[in-house]
Each structure stands twice: as structure tokens, then as C-alpha cells.
Chain A
Amino acid sequence: MKRNHPFRLSDLAINVVNSDLEDENEKYDLLVYPIGYERRSRYVAERTVGRWQKALGYVFPDGHVLSFEQNLRVSKDWGVSEIHGVDKLELLESIVRALDCKDYSSKRILVDISSFNRRLIASLSEILLTEPIFDGCDVTFAYSLAKFREPPKRAAPFMDFAPIVGLEGWTAHPERPTVLVVGVGYAEDEAIGAVEYLDPSVTFGFLPTGVDFRFRLEVERNNLALLALINRRNVVDYKIMFPYQTFWELLTLVQHLSATTRVVLVPMGPKIFCSLCILVKMIVGDEIALWRASGHELSSVSDVEADGAMCGYTVWKQNRADSSRPGI
């Protein structure tokens, strides 16, 4: 694995690299994945079965519909340990218990974020990237792309648009203008709601391209109002399959902007972008805020299937006791 470009994350040096999830030689000590209502939620687990030693399945307290029962059955067949609570301490304890070893450094942990909600992605990232017990671990965030389906007819209004708890940031410069960096999804006019609410001085839009070009067409078609509103030079195209490159683009932009403004990240669209936003927020620090919109109810859920393509990135963390590893 190529290791370069270290960053400081609190007092820790890290590297970020693209992951090849198809590589049969890549083995993991632990898989953390959601047991949800989408068929997609077990896809990464299925594709990597035999390459992870243990698995921890997060069972959502509600949404036991569509493919949930089947996902749960399969997880039981695999002997997956279940987590039910959303409390960070519970999550941490469950992961520590599942790994069950004396030395956690050098462990390799795979987290499938495809069907997790944004709050849980944030909690898991914070635990795995900042808890000292996992210093020295490699954490791979994996994402399986969805099969194309028509976007919902109308974007649900934001019932709750607020900072993700723990990632709201804290500024020493409230007088500086707010700049919005929004990850654009394919639901109609969803991103423009963030613009309306936050009323930023400048908006940057990150537009995804996956393997199925129909998604991209829908992204553009359903965000015409947003695209008319923001300057074309503030639109950044990113490829879902190359999170490392997206990470760099996002980090460079945010670091540049945060010198003179207060940046708000609003990751709509693919969860891999949300995961990258969380990582960037952790690296850049308290001047950055991360918000999420929630307007969806269980009545509007659908059984999303995986397309077959997977992508991911690995955060490689230096063990605090070990200063000999390269890239530090």
C-alpha cells in the first residue's frame, strides 16, 4: 500500500490512500457494518466474506422492513455480533470487545458506511480515528454504489437541518463570513435548501459522478436551481470511485477557505463524500462545522440494491509510541 501525504489529526499523524476492496490479499481483523432495510447494507460484507475475521453488525432500532429480516438472517449465519445502542461509549465498547486482543495497534478495521446514517458515520469515525486505543490501526471506510433508480419525485422539506452533534465546530472568529461547501445529491432541489437556510456568502458545490452515468444526469437535472445560483467556477466534479482524490480536493479547498471564512460542510449525496467531510473536519478542526439535513421518513424508504462497484479509502494512523513508521 502506498503511504504518503501525512496529516495531523489532533496529535496524531495519518495517511489517506485509496483502497482496493476487490484485492483478495486485503484482510481485515474486524468488519463493522449496518444491518438495515436495504439489500445493499450487507453487500460489502458478502463481497469481503472470508477476508474479515470478525464482524460487528449495527441493528437499527427502527426500519425493520424490506430486506431487514433477510439481512439479519444472513448476519446470524455469519455469526456476526450485534450492536443496538447509538451511544458512543457503547459503540466503542462493542468494537473493543469484538476485537478482543491485548494490542489494538496494527489492527485492520473495515467499516461499510453505505447504509449507515450520517450521524453514525460521524460517531464511528470519531471513535476509530481519535480514540487512543486505536492508534496504529488502519481504518478502511468502504462504500458500495447503488443500482440506479429514479430519484424521489420531490425533495422532502428539511424537517431538521442542524449541525451533527459533536461536529458543530466552535469558531474564534464569528465575524467572518460563512462559506458553504455542499455535497450535491440527486434528489430534486435538496441542496438548495441548505443554501436558503444558511444564507452563505459563497457556495461551493461538489457534484458526484459514479459508474452509472444516469445518476450524474439526474444530479444535474435536479439541481438546476442550485447550479443557476452558484458560480460555475465554484462547482467541483468528483468521482465517487476515487475518494483519495476527492479528499485532497476537499481538504485543499477547506484549508484555503478556513483562513478567512467559517466553512460549513453539508454532505448530501453519496455517503462516501459524507465520510470524507467528517475526516476533513477532524483534520482542519473547530473552525469547520458539519451539518446534515433530515427530511425523510420511513414511509419513503426503498430497498436500494448494490450496483456491484465498491470504493473506499484507508486512514492509516501512527501509533503514538511508534515514531519509526514512514510518512510521519
Chain B
Amino acid sequence: MYEEDSIFDTFNARHLTAQQIAETFVPPVGIFSELMSVGNHLLTGPRGSGKTTLLRMLTVPALLSWQHIEAEQFLNRIDFVGVFVPADRNWHGQLKSLSKYELDQISARTLGEAAFTTHILKGLVRAFQDINEAVIGQHPYSIHKQLVKLDQNNERDLVREVAKGWRLDVAIPTFAGLQSALSLRLIDIGLLRRSLMKMQNVDIRAERNDYLYLDHRECVRFAVELCNSMARLPSRRFCLMFDELEIAPSSIQQALLADLRGGAEESICIYKLALAPFNKHFYKEFNEVQPTARNDYVHIDLTYARKELGYDFSTQLIRSLLHRNGLQNDDARTLLGPSGFDFWDSDATVSPYANGGNVTRSLRSLHGKDHSFREYLDANHLTIEGIGDQRQESERAQYIRKVRSIAMVRDYFIRAPRELREHEAVRDSQTLSAEPLTSRSRKSYFPFTGFPSMLALAEGNPRWLLGLFRPLIRELAVIRQASAKGRVDRATQAREIQEAIKAFRSLLRTIPYKNDERGERGLLKFLDTIGTFFYNGSVMGPFKAQPPLSFTVDANVDEEVIVAVGRALNVGALVYVPDHESDKMLANIRGKRFRLCYLLSAYYKLPIILNTAVSLGVILDRSGKGQGGGKHEAQPSLPLE
């Protein structure tokens, strides 16, 4: 949801200034507007899906810096002051390390909770500072009503009272002084930790350490009420926005989830909680506390199980990137040109189903070499001659549309033996030669180029969109210097797909997964097993109209597999496919349906469609027995590189 001057230099929005975030922010359709509403929200998405950016955009400085064409309407709706509470694995490592020393568990937990509480309070003081430092323009947006500044005397009085309640010594009674005192408190907690680590005789329950037992909710409410009272805004809401909540100590997670249960209507504190798609510890807490969707919170998922849902946001982000590069007259279509899979392009001069259209061409070609495809057509009383015939519209709708993606990918990746004459279909599908998965030419990615296929590969994930499209936009800028027409060629697009896949697979290779039974190591091997199974079923074996391209996790799979699926979800390699819209919150992996992300689908030479689902147990069993699911299992399909 943001752009960077240097594409891969920066990975997340944590370090950017509010102004930098606002300058490049593109609101995801429907999502930002929902998130702005007064209410509790659970925001889930894999790495790079924009959770941090969305939360940071709800802070006062970011909102006031936002110049987007829709900014005015948003600024007129917002009815709270955002408090951003970041967290990351680095800090998690420090908090978690407390339990690695020979501290008693109660002391370790107390120090962890006290540190996190102090961190939340720092976020709140930052929000007080945001209000006082806000530069309010001439437009009377509704957000401005929340931003009543405190004069010096009020600030001093507020800080003194808050410091008393929070058990702080504040040298200078200003918000900056309060921040500084909270940092010192974190240092104090660190010193206590060190003393305990060195087994010194320290009693953390001593009276001078009573700040360790402060409750974050009480502290926040106390300060918010005081601040609101001084600003004469008794019902002003503060929105606590937790990034990577799964990193917070479990008691704080539990308290926040319990707070969700109260709903947001009457509360002066509301919550926006950002999480990875799956974290078994968090969801255990979640299941225990059981807040209710819609009544207590609204769940926003930043993944798009059905690719078309992500196209609007992707198109807007690409347009924003193009504009920032001086390409005002271009959009994703003019950048990429059509895709072979673009069946809905109303601007196409030739219908894909007409004679000479891309679908018809592929189907004829496949018919010419694949007997199993001929059998499929025969069984459904279709003729290849009739495919381009407008009169057969109803048959096409029923049969051809169902198989077009499979047939086109299959046509692209399988070859008939050279000695066979043209149009002589191969009767024995084993004599067909499918391009092995081991072959990784750039040409392998050609079917996935063009609009909207490349958008599907990025999954609506801003980080992936930037990675894939920034080089293409630079290329287009060069092309535009010479010509107002033309687009980035397919070879260049395929090169970027290849590079993105290479980088993504490198990341996946380092994520651990070990299945003792099979002796496999690494998440990538797990994903390769799934990808190979799908490839064998859709491309290598005999033609099937609807080969499985998604899977359901069996109830009895072992815990290692659950961990692997969870990790793959969190990194974006797998995408959860909910059966119902209301089922989006993934509290349990078992029994749920998933698909490979489309970037990996391109690697495994699979059509980028959902299709039917197969049980994960079947995939793992067949691969365990060396079976690939098709007649071609004798051909080596692994290793993939």
C-alpha cells in the first residue's frame, strides 16, 4: 500500500514517517473504509499484505498528511484518535528470552507484561502528542473535532496526574517528559531482568516495583478519561491498534480479546488488532474467550481467495505507481497488454471463442495432440469444429468455460512426438511428452504474463505488487520516451515473474518443517509435494475437466503438517479459501480448504484457478508412495530444480 524510491530496500512500513506513508497510500477497496468505522476489528493477512500500513494510516499525522483524492470523504468519517502499538519478532525474542533463564515463571511473566504495558502507554502518549502537534488545515473535517489541543498548563496538569497513576517520576511535566519516563521504566525493567538473570537476591515484589503490576487497560482508561475531560470531549474515543498482536504476552492477548466482547458502542477505547493468518497459540486464546464476529468485532482479511476480488486494489496501486513515474496516461492494461487467460476483455478485437481467438486456438491445438481431450469432447457431445461457432454458445458456457484454463495450460506445456502428423491425436497419453517441472525456461512463464494474470500472481499483496511491477514500470517509462504506444513485452514480464519466484522460493527454503515419518525438511519441500501433485493431475496425466488445484486439510493429519500449513499461510505461500464469507476467521486449520498462492502456481505450471479440492492426506500419501496421481508417475517430477 506504499511505494518506495528503492524497490526492495525497505520491507515494511514500520520505519516510514507518517508523511511518507500518507504520500503513497492507496486505500484498498472497501477495507480502509470499514477499518475507519467506529468498532473493533481483527485484521489478518500474510507478510506484506499491508496490515502495518493500514494501521499507521489511522494515526493522526498520517491522516492529516493524506492528499489522496478520496481523503476528504474519509477524514469526514473518522471518529477516533489512533494509538499505534507496533511489535516485531526482534522484540518478541527479547520478551521470550525471559523464560530461558532460570527465573521463576511468575517473575518472567510479570516482567514481560510490565514491558508490554509500558510499550502500550508509550503509544498512548505518542497519540496525545499527535493531537497537540497536529497541523490543522482550513477544511473543517470531522477528525478535527477530535484534535482539541491542550495548552501548556493543561498539559502539565495532565502529565502530573497521569504520572501519579502510572507510578512514574517525571522530571519535566510535558508529554515528551512522560515518554522519556516510560523509556526509563523499560530500562528499569531491563535492569531487574539482568539482576534476576545473575541470580542476585532481588525481590521483584518489593514495594518500589509495584509499577510492574499495573494493568494496561486501567492505565489507558485513566489517562484517556483525564485527557478527554481536559479537552472537554468526554466521549472522545481512542483506538488502540496493535500490530502483530500474536507477539504480545498471552495475558495481554487474553485481556484484549475479552475487551472485544464488550463491543465498541459505549467504550472510549476501541481496538484494531492485526494478526498473521494463523497462530495456533493466539487462536487457542481466541477460542477460549470466544468474541463473536459482527457483534463484538468485524474481521477483515487482506487475502483474496478469489483472485478477481483483488484486482481493483492492484489496479489502483499500479496506477498510482505509474502516475508517480510520470506515466499519467497508462494503467495496468496498457502496461502489460492482454493475457492469454483474459476471457472477459471487452476491448479485445477478436472474441477468445471466435475462430482465431486465443481459447479456440488452444483448444484446437490440444485436440490435435491429446486423445484424452478428444475423448472428453466426445463424451460431452462437443466437436472441435463447433467451438468457434457462435451458435454453440450454450455448450461453451456449460463445458468449454469449465475447461478452458486447464486446456490452455495443458496445450502450452505438452508436446506430441515429432513423428506424428499434425492433427493426429496421440491415443496413448503416456506417449505425450509434458514439459517436466524441472524445466525452468523463462518461456515457461509466458502463459502467466499480461493483464490480469500478473495481477493474480501478486495476490493483491502490496509488497508483491511493488516487487513485480516496479521494474516493469521503469521499463515502460523507457518505452514511452520513444513511443506513446507499446507495452512491456512478455519476455520482460516473464523475467520479472521468474525473479520474484526465485526470491520467494529462497525465503521458503529457510522456513523449517520436518516430517519425521518422511524425513523431509523445509517448508519448500512440503509445498513442492503439493505443487507436483497438482501438476501431475492437471498437465501430465490424461485430460480431466476439473483436476484438483486446492486441498482440504484432513481432520487426522499430524501436528507437523498443521504447523507447515500455518507457516505457509503466514508467509503467503498458501491462501485460505473459506467456504462462506462468515467463515473467514481461521481458528482451526483442520477441515479447511487452501490453495497455493498463484505465484507458486506459475512455478508449478498450473492454471491460476481454484478448481476442485482434494484431501491433503491423499497428496501426502501418494507422494510418500512415490505416486504422482497420474499415469506419468514414472517420470521424475522431483527434485524441481
Which residues of A come within 8 Å of B, CB atoms? Answer: 154-159, 162-163, 165-166, 168-175, 177-178, 189-190, 192-203, 224-226, 228-231, 234, 261-262, 264, 286, 289, 291, 295
CB distance from B274 to the nearest CB of A (A): 13
* Number of chain B residues whose Cβ lies closer than 8 Å to a Cβ of chain A: 50
B510 adjacent to A199 (CB under 8 Å): no
B503 adjacent to A199 (CB under 8 Å): no
List 30 A-B residue pairs with CB atoms under 8 Å apart, sorted by A's residue number.
Answer: A154-B509, A156-B521, A157-B509, A157-B511, A157-B513, A157-B523, A163-B94, A166-B197, A169-B94, A172-B187, A174-B86, A174-B91, A177-B14, A178-B14, A189-B506, A189-B510, A190-B510, A193-B509, A193-B511, A195-B11, A196-B47, A196-B507, A201-B10, A202-B10, A228-B8, A228-B499, A231-B6, A234-B9, A261-B15, A295-B510
In the complex, chain B residues whose CB is within 8 Å of the CB of A172: 183-184, 186-187, 190
Which of B10, B87, B510, B523 interacts with A174 by CB under 8 Å? B87
Of chain A, the residue at the smallest CB distance from B183 is A172
Given contacts A199-B12, A289-B90, contact A158 B511 (CB under 8 A): yes
In the complex, chain A residues whose CB is within 8 Å of the CB of B123: 175
B193 adjacent to A170 (CB under 8 Å): yes
Which residues of B come within 8 Å of A, CB atoms? Answer: 6, 8-12, 14-15, 47, 86-91, 93-94, 97, 100-101, 115, 119, 122-123, 126, 183-184, 186-187, 189-190, 193-194, 197, 499, 502-503, 506-507, 509-514, 521-524, 571
How far, in whole Å, are A307 and B375 apart by their CA atoms in the complex? 66
In the complex, chain B residues whose CB is within 8 Å of the CB of A159: 512, 514
In the complex, chain B residues whose CB is within 8 Å of the CB of A230: 8-9
Given contacts A157-B512, A225-B502, contact A168 B190 (CB under 8 A): no
How far, in whole Å, are A162 and B512 apart by their CA atoms in the complex? 13
A-B contact count, CB below 8 Å?
139
A163 adjacent to B97 (CB under 8 Å): yes
CB distance from A299 to the nearest CB of B (A): 11
Main secondary structure of the interface of B (DSSP, over half): helix
How far, in whole Å, are A201 and B52 apart by their CA atoms in the complex? 12
In the complex, chain A residues whose CB is within 8 Å of the CB of B511: 157-158, 193, 196
How far, in whole Å, are A193 and B508 apart by their CA atoms in the complex? 8
CB distance from A237 to the nearest CB of B (A): 18
How far, in whole Å, are A194 and B190 apart by their CA atoms in the complex? 25
Which of B90, B119, B194, B503 interacts with A178 by CB under 8 Å? B90
Given contacts A170-B193, A231-B6, contact A175 B510 (CB under 8 A): no
In the complex, chain B residues whose CB is within 8 Å of the CB of A194: 510
A157 adjacent to B510 (CB under 8 Å): yes
B510 adjacent to A177 (CB under 8 Å): no
CB distance from B285 to the nearest CB of A (A): 21
In the complex, chain B residues whose CB is within 8 Å of the CB of A234: 9
How far, in whole Å, are A229 and B9 apart by their CA atoms in the complex? 7
How far, in whole Å, are A157 and B8 apart by their CA atoms in the complex? 23
Of chain A, the residue at the smallest CB distance from B123 is A175
Given contacts A155-B510, A156-B521, contact A229 B503 (CB under 8 A): yes
A286 adjacent to B15 (CB under 8 Å): no
In the complex, chain A residues whose CB is within 8 Å of the CB of B514: 159
In the complex, chain A residues whose CB is within 8 Å of the CB of B97: 163, 165, 168
B12 adjacent to A162 (CB under 8 Å): no
B506 adjacent to A192 (CB under 8 Å): yes
CB distance from A123 to the nearest CB of B (A): 14
How far, in whole Å, are A261 and B507 apart by their CA atoms in the complex? 24
How far, in whole Å, are A203 and B521 apart by their CA atoms in the complex? 27
CB distance from B243 to the nearest CB of A (A): 10
How far, in whole Å, are A196 and B522 apart by their CA atoms in the complex? 14
In the complex, chain B residues whose CB is within 8 Å of the CB of A162: 93
Given contacts A168-B94, A289-B90, contact A199 B11 (CB under 8 A): yes
Given contacts A154-B509, A172-B190, A286-B190, contact A200 B11 (CB under 8 A): yes
In the complex, chain B residues whose CB is within 8 Å of the CB of A198: 88-90
Given contacts A156-B521, A192-B510, 7 further A-B contacts (CB under 8 A): A157-B510, A170-B94, A189-B509, A193-B507, A196-B507, A229-B8, A295-B512
In the complex, chain B residues whose CB is within 8 Å of the CB of A199: 11-12, 47, 88-89
In the complex, chain A residues whose CB is within 8 Å of the CB of B94: 163, 168-171, 289
How far, in whole Å, are A28 and B89 apart by their CA atoms in the complex? 42
A291 adjacent to B91 (CB under 8 Å): no
In the complex, chain B residues whose CB is within 8 Å of the CB of A196: 47, 507, 510-511, 571
Which of A171, A264, A289 has its CB near the most chain B CB atoms (within 10 A)?
A171
B507 adjacent to A192 (CB under 8 Å): yes
How far, in whole Å, are A169 and B513 apart by their CA atoms in the complex? 28
Of chain A, the residue at the smallest CB distance from B116 is A174
A170 adjacent to B190 (CB under 8 Å): yes
